[in-house]
Amino acid sequence: MRTTVAIIGAGPAGLLLARLLDEAGIDSVVLESRDRAHVEQRQRAGILEQSTADALRAAGAGARMDREGLPHTGIELRFDRRGHRVDFPSRTGGRSVLVYAQTEVCKDLIALRFRTGGPLLFGARALAVEDADTDRPRVRYRHGGREEVLECSYVAGCDGYWGISRAAVPPALARTYERTWPYAWLGILADAPPSHHELVYARHDRGFALLSMRPPAEGADAPVSRLYLQVPPSTEAASWSDTEIWDELDRRVETDGGRPLERGAITAKAVTPMRSWVHEPMRHGRLFLAGDAAHIVPPTGAKGLNLAVGDVVTLARALVTHRDTGDPAGIDAYSADCLRRVWGAEHFSYAMTDLLHRHPDATPFDDRLRRARLDRIATCAAAETDLAEGYTGVPFP
């Protein structure tokens, strides 16, 4: 089989890239190792920056998002038993974010692909990217019990950190940068109404907590709660009882005069490790890395999905320009252009993570410094603007 662009991975990056290319008249084939149900059910990010939401709308994938997504114009920071709301539009010239789960983004893009696009092969495990530094790269993959070869002009590696695409970059040309954080998140989904209408980020002496939500499930009337607690990285989710989780959330987000959280049945528990990681370069020959195949951020800043969208929007524009004008400048600049955005998001995510979590080795001096930074955000327009601009994201070029 032959195509113009072989896309490895049917997460939001690979699926959106396929959609953008299809709209531009560039054919592609998407290979996904897991089945459709897995892709449409795996819980991931839920915050869309305005540029991400706009990109989905422009690609024809925004109708359900706009019906069911939850627009948010701010977040609340809680510390020292008080809260401070950061208003996004007033600090960013009108920008905001949208709560809409990655699972729903994938469902929308998969439906579009099957209705209007080219091949999307589930259960197709990519084995290797070959000849990436030539004008005829190819992808070996296994599908239906048989090994196949997909010949192409370009390869987009959207297959995540554990995928095979990155291995096609010669080790002598690659550099990686990494930080492993000394804590993790215990996350839950709960059939309980959100206790606040916007996201709440709480710093507490016992550790960080986050109050978030997901839009109502099909047939439901109200959003459900998505909640997180800072825990040691060795934590097993099952070691926390439901009552212990709710009690600890109440402790960490409590404010003077505030009310306890709305409680309900916990339907899912999982522990998420915290990592910061970047692979350079993001391009080798005709192989382009995108999303988690090239970079990972801790979830505090809500940047992972949004960075992936920025990558594929940049790549799609470069490929279309090259086809239409013969100018390879966008292709040649892909890695550098994306990495500028990536490192900006890494910095923001690092700062948010360090500010809001309690380091296990923190001294009283360290804790006071972080509280001083939170005080400055709450009292200084410039500091609050910096946070709001970072959270809502840099507009795509």
Which residues form the catalytic set? Answer: 72, 201, 299, 303, 391
CA–CA separation, 137 and 334 (whole Å): 18
* Amino acid symbol at 26: I
- Within 10 Å of residue 242's Cβ, how many Cβ atoms? 14
Question: At 145, is the secondary structure helix, strand, or coil?
Answer: coil
Integer CA distances (angstroms), 123 to 16, 43, 150, in order: 19, 19, 15
Which residues neighbour 94 within 8 Å (Cβ) at sequence distance 6 or greater? none
| Per-residue tokens: 233 | 């990285």
* Amino acid symbol at 78: R
Integer CA distances (angstroms), 34 to 39, 41, 163, 252, 295, in order: 7, 11, 12, 38, 21
Helical (H) or strand (E) element with 68: helix 63-68
Cis peptide before 364 (omega within 30 of 0): no
- Count Cβ atoms within 10 A of the Cβ of residue 309 and give its class: 0-12 exposed, 13-18 middle, 19 or more buried: buried
Question: Are the C-beta atoms of 137 and 129 separated by less than 8 Å?
Answer: yes
CA dihedral 241, 247, 249, 250 (to 10 degrees): 160
